[in-house]
Amino acid sequence: DTAVSQTPKYLVTQMGNDKSIKCEQNLGHDTMYWYKQDSKKFLKIMFSYNNKELIINETVPNRFSPKSPDKAHLNLHINSLELGDSAVYFCASRQEQGSGYTFGSGTRLTVV
Amino acid sequence: ELKVEQNPLFLSMQEGKNYTIYCNYSTTSDRLYWYRQDPGKSLESLFVLLSNGAVKQEGRLMASLDTKARLSTLHITAAVHDLSATYFCAVGRGSNYQLIWGAGTKLIIKP
């Protein structure tokens, strides 16, 4: 029973394409996040949703658009992919303020 | 702007030795997290430290938090090879506690 599941695990695509990454959590958590980990392993927040409402939108190109159809799902759609978008994208969820996060297994995106 | 600095960034040590990873952060926060990441894997929560003076231990790992010094430490006792991984500290920011991450410490423990 995977707590936070992401699909796909690997994604290889050409520049200019549009792609989506899906995330689902079965923990009943209220808040979900997208983090990006670059090639140097540095992690950075991208977006956060609380009960389907966008509450954090960091300085991310507007080619990236999160969508939360319900509080258990947070998807990430990326338009016009660029080489610099290559990274590992992690979805995470959290129940209450201060509690630990639960991370998905990550999606390794490679843009060629 | 909240900044989180870890040191060292790379640590190679022998089994059986003790060592400490340091995590400094630049502005006030009362939430500090330690995570472990194995190569190609996800992030595993190790500790959540919620108050000044908090100390938590799990096996050979012990984490502490000094909010006045804005410093957390992760101490490794009698290291074993299985502890080889990258360790991240992260500080909670804002009412939503988004995480601001350190750069990670890559720990290699040699038999």
DSSP codes of every residue in chain A: --SEEEE-SEEEE-TT--EEEEEEE-S--SEEEEEEE-TT--EEEEEEEETTEEEEE-S--TTEEEEEEETTEEEEEE-S--GGG-EEEEEEEESSTTPPPEE---EEEEE-
Tokens 């200019």, residue located: A16
| Option in B33, B42, B104 nearest A41 (CB) | B104
Contact A41 B43 (CB under 8 A): no
pLDDT at A1: 67
pLDDT per residue of chain B (111 residues) written in tens, 0 to 9: 889 999 999 999 999 999 999 999 998 877 899 999 999 999 999 999 988 888 999 999 999 999 999 999 999 999 999 999 999 999 988 777 778 999 999 999 998
pLDDT at A98: 58
B31 to chain A nearest CA, in Å? Answer: 6
pLDDT at B111: 86
pLDDT at B92: 84
- Which stretches of chain A drop beneath a pLDDT of 50? none
A19: contact with B, CB 8 A cutoff:
no
Contacts for A13 with CB less than 8 Å, ≥ 6 apart: A19, A81, A109, A110, A111, A112
pLDDT at A88: 97
A17: contact with B, CB 8 A cutoff:
no
pLDDT at B56: 94
